[in-house]
Every structure is written in structure tokens, then in C-alpha cells.
Amino acid sequence: MTAHDTAWRFHAHPEGRVLDVRLEGTVLKVTPHDGDRHGSTWALRAQPGTPRLEWLGACAGEPDEAHLLAAIEAAFQRHPAARQLALQSPLPTGTRLVDAGIVTPAEGALPTVAREAFWQWPRAWLPQPREPFAQRFIVTQGKRHPLRPAKPQGTVYRRHIPWLGKTLTLDTVDIERDLPAFHRWMNDPVVAHFWEEEGDLARHRQYLEGIAADPRVTGLVGRFDGEPFGYFEAYWAREDRIAPFYDAADHDRGWHALVGEARFRGKPFLTAWMPSVSHYLFLDDPRTQRLVIEPRADNEKMIRSLGRCGYAHVKEFDFPHKRALLGVLWRERFFGEALWIPRADPTAASPAPVRRHEPSLEDIHANP
């Protein structure tokens, strides 16, 4: 960008593609990142109440669906308070956007895109979205739960973070590639204080091999523009150790986190990765209605951050190895309140139990 270039720029990743978005004035252009000249041009008009996105292509044509998704995402990024978007564009042939409830036709008016619905469309952020796995029940160690699908491989989530100017990805763990960083992170004093998994390379290889062999848990590495910064574990709560402490539903998910690279700790990065982890888990299976997390009860920074990202602080309880706090995020709240961007700091500092807790956001170090 030159000194005289005032354009706003964004990267979208629909259907596993990388598309560049450039907005100057009201003109929004979507082009493939690989230099392909086949782009699309749109007008984004900030009219009162509902912004309007207009396709400026040929009258007899129609936009590419990936370009349409990129333009819609960019429009909502530019107008984060807008609950819906008016769409003045033909729809791509064969699109499922109407059937899925993403685009709502209106007789005598322009179709609309509801923000709450659009952010639930996996194809905008998941390179390889999966259909819901057929429900069959099994029993594992005395716990009855749905049979889980095979764990994914590779990049499972990709989202551009405008305030960082970086793209966040979540990748499944590749032990040979990721073991050196994982080993270093686990021996970092800040991480070790909460995870208590210090050790040599052999111990950490064994740890990751155990996660890889466990159908209940998926290990993930978070990256900003390809640079690894942290480790996450996503698990099915029904068959996890947390299940006896609340009424775990069949498709509830939970997660653990650590930020291993010190320079990626802090508010600007946390406001990117924490909501993105939640977003990914809700997108991975539309039947997931709740996310749970159980940080140590003395992990005050984590608990404050969770509150601001929509997690209700339900109760404290005792695991055999720690006293924990149960946090719960409802799907309806995450999408209804647009919590992929955490709330601003509130004026009240004291937490409200269970229903609505939005304390200030601080740095986060780890959550075993």
C-alpha cells in the first residue's frame, strides 16, 4: 500500500480459496490471491439500517459463489453493527445459500443476508467442511455417546483478522513437524505453571501420540500467517472427564489452550484466537449447541477473558488434580451477539453468575 492508497484490504478464504478484497469508496473488488485476473466488482453502500451489497457484473451473468461469500464477509467486517445485509445480485446457479437459510428472498424487496446465519456457513471458513456424521451410539468405558467421525487432517479453519492484518489458521498436529515447538512451549515456565507437563522430547512425543490415538480429542496448532503460536485440544465433552460435572449433551465440545510464543500473548491476539476456536467448533458440527471449558479456578486472566468472549461462569468444582471453573458458551449467544469480535470492556468489574458475564479482557497464558 502506498502513502496515497487509502483502500481498505481484506483476505477471505471461502471454499478453501484465498481471495483478496479491496474496498475504495463504495467500490469493492474481489480477486484471486494467485494473480488470476478473473475478479468481480461490487458496490457496498452504507444506507441507513441495512447496508446494500450490489454486484456490478454483466446483466446476463452471475457471480462466482466464492466471490459472493468473500464480498458478504467483507461487508459485515466493514459494518460490524449491521444485523443484516441487502443483496442486489443474482445468485450462483446451484447455490445452497437459500436452502441453508443464509440468503432470505423477499417478495417485492431485495433478498437479505442475516449476520447470525452467514457466520454459521462453514464454507466461508472451513477448507474442507464435513457433513454431520450419522448418529450411532456406542459405549466407551461405561459412557454412552455418539460414534465420532474420523479426526480431520491438515488445515481445518482459516480466518483473516483485520485488526492484526494477519490470517489465523488452525491445523491438526503433525508430530514430526510440531514436536519441537510443542516441547519448547511445555517447558516454558508460564505454560508449565498451569499445564504441569514439563519434560524431555520423548515425553512430549508420547503425549502427542496419545492425543493422536484418542478418538475423543483433536490436537491443533494455531498459526498467524503460517507462524505457530499456540496449541489447542478440542474434545467431545460427553465422553470426557468433565461430563459428570454437568448435563453434557451428545454434541457438546470443549477445549484447552496454551499460547507458547510470548510475543503472541496479549489482547490483540487473544481477541483473534479465542473467538476463532469457538467459531471453528460450532462450524464443525451444526448440532453442537454448547462449548465448555474448565480452567483452573485460580487462572484469573483466562477466566476474565472467557467472560468477555461470551462464556458464562457457571460454577467451581473439583477434579482430582485441580479445582476448576466451568465455563459455558451457547451457540445462540455466540452467533446472535456476534461474539467472533469480543465485547468492549464493561464498566462493572464484578461477575454476574451464570447468565451474563463480560469482565475486562487481559493477557492469557495457558489453560490446562
Average pLDDT over residues 16-41: 92
Say if residues 21 and 9 touch (Cβ distance below 8 Å). yes
pLDDT class of 35 with cuts at 50, 70, 90 = confident
Q: Which residues make beta-bridge pairs with 145?
A: 138
CA–CA distances in Å: residue 190 to residues 184, 198, 260, 262, 366: 12, 11, 9, 9, 8
Active site annotation includes 294 = yes
Q: Based on C-alpha coordinates, what's the Rg of the chain?
A: 21
pLDDT at 354 over 60: no
Contacts of 172 (CB under 8 A, 6+ apart): 151, 152, 153, 154, 156, 218, 219, 220, 221
Contacts of 123 (CB under 8 A, 6+ apart): 14, 15, 69, 129
Say if residues 359 and 349 touch (Cβ distance below 8 Å). yes
Tell me what pLDDT residue 3 has: 55
Model pLDDT for residues 256-290, shown as the tens digit of each residue: 999 999 999 999 999 999 999 999 999 999 999 99
Q: Please state the separation of Cα 167 from the chain's center in Å.
A: 12
Q: Which of 251, 337, 327 is nearest to 294 (CA)?
A: 327
Contacts of 190 (CB under 8 A, 6+ apart): 262, 365, 366
Query: At how many degrees (to 10) do helices 300-308 and 267-284 cross?
Result: 60
pLDDT at 205 over 90: yes
* Alpha carbon distance 344, 215 (integer Å): 37
Q: Domains in the chain and their CATH numbers?
A: 8-123 (3.40.630), 127-367 (3.40.630.30)
Cell numbers for 285: 458440527
* Alpha carbon distance 32, 21 (integer Å): 9
pLDDT at 347 over 60: no
Tell me what pLDDT residue 357 has: 34
Model pLDDT for residues 214-260, shown as the tens digit of each residue: 999 999 999 999 999 999 999 999 999 999 999 999 999 999 999 99
The pTM (predicted TM-score) of the whole model is 0.92
* Alpha carbon distance 348, 233 (integer Å): 32
Catalytic-role residue among 233, 294, 332, 337: 294
Tell me what pLDDT residue 6 has: 85
* Alpha carbon distance 207, 213 (integer Å): 10
**What integer best gives the mean pLDDT of the chain?**
91
Percent of the chain with pLDDT strictly greater than 90: 86
Average pLDDT over residues 55-75: 93
pLDDT at 304 over 90: yes
- Could you identify the residue written with the cell 424487496? 109
Tell me what pLDDT residue 368 has: 52
**Hey, what long-range contacts does 188-191 have (CB within 8 A, 24 or more apart)?**
188/260, 188/262, 190/262, 190/365, 190/366, 191/258, 191/260, 191/365, 191/366
What is the residue type of 297?
A
Say if residues 229 and 199 touch (Cβ distance below 8 Å). no
